[in-house]
Amino acid sequence: MPRIVTAYSNPLVKRVQALRDKRHRREEGMFIAEGLRILTEARETGRLPQVLFYAQASAHHPLVLALVRDVEAAGGEAIETTEAILAKLSGKDNPQSVVGAFATFDTDLTALDRNASPIWLVAERLRDPGNLGTILRTGDAVGAGGLILIGDCVDPFSTEAVRASMGALFTVPLVRASWSAFLPWLRAGPGQLVGLSLRTQSHYRTASYAAPTFLLTGNEAQGLPAELEAECDLLVKMPMLGKADSLNAAVATAVMAYEVLAHHAPAGSE
């Protein structure tokens, strides 16, 4: 049976609230996700929070009841609480009706099946959690095989990144790897590495893409280092017709992902 917690001083409330801090996420091996839609998508992929907080007002919602049932069946804890405590956990004045504390996860490179999809997303030294979450969302939209984070990227389990992913964190395989580990893995099988760069004349619309395509996006401020560009099979450029010299990293990734998807899609498919 779920228990009721209404005190800010409750140790579990304090423990889950602390997961908004990167150090505590690393120490606990846990992170926060919020919102009925996101937690329901997580449940449908087989991932359940170890601790589930839900608002008293939503206690009888069928999706909340399903979450409570499955969390408790898996040995987790379901807690009915107040909107004030949910706001404390999420850091928002208008909190979602459910907040879950999940175990962190990712996938090893060696576990990936590169033939599972004709398109894969790779991001190097991505620093903005909103961009990371949006790229995950793009990956879900185009059916990407996964997102591979290279080097010192922002924490994909930060509250902001999870929020921006709109549930795609749970649906798109996520790998964190060094460049020195990624490149030999890539070259051990089929895969075209396509880098987004301003230092090329190859137009992204006229380039030829080979499946599986690994689409490489660089750091928001600096782009791809020259040594990484040198390892790419193809560099492509998007024309900038205004005063801006480049697109936002997540926007550029989305545009490129749909271009690659259109290139690989069978004639007449959507």
Cα(157)–Cα(49) distance, rounded to whole angstroms? 14
Determine, yes or no, domain membership for 269: no
Q: Is the pLDDT score of 87 beyond 70? A: yes
Instruction: Tally the domains of the chain.
Output: 2
Find the CATH number of the domain harbouring 90: 3.30.1330.30
The residue from 55, 76, 103 where one domain ends is 103
In this structure, are 186 and 149 located in the same domain? yes
Q: What is the pLDDT of residues 28-79, one digit of tens each?
A: 999 999 999 999 999 999 999 999 999 988 999 999 999 999 999 999 999 9
Determine, yes or no, domain membership for 22: yes
Determine, yes or no, domain membership for 270: no
In this structure, are 114 and 84 located in the same domain? no
Q: At how many degrees (to 10) do helices 249-264 and 129-142 cross? A: 10
Q: Which residues touch 132 (CB under 8 Å, ≥6 apart)?
A: 123, 126, 149, 153, 154, 156, 161, 164, 165, 250
In this structure, are 148 and 254 located in the same domain? yes
In this structure, are 46 and 150 located in the same domain? no
Determine, yes or no, domain membership for 53: yes
pTM attached to this predicted model: 0.91
Mean pLDDT of the chain: 93
Find the CATH number of the domain harbouring 227: 3.40.1280.10
Determine, yes or no, domain membership for 256: yes
Give me the amino acid identity at 210: A
Determine, yes or no, domain membership for 25: yes
Q: Which two tokens stand for residue 148?
A: 């591979």
Query: In which domain, by residue range, is 8 found?
Result: 3-103
Determine, yes or no, domain membership for 152: yes
In this structure, are 113 and 99 located in the same domain? no
In this structure, are 95 and 137 located in the same domain? no
Determine, yes or no, domain membership for 146: yes
Q: What is the pLDDT of residues 133-165, one digit of tens each?
A: 999 999 999 999 999 999 999 999 999 999 999
The residue from 73, 103, 133 where one domain ends is 103
- Cα-flanking dihedrals φ and ψ of residue 257, to 5°? -60, -40
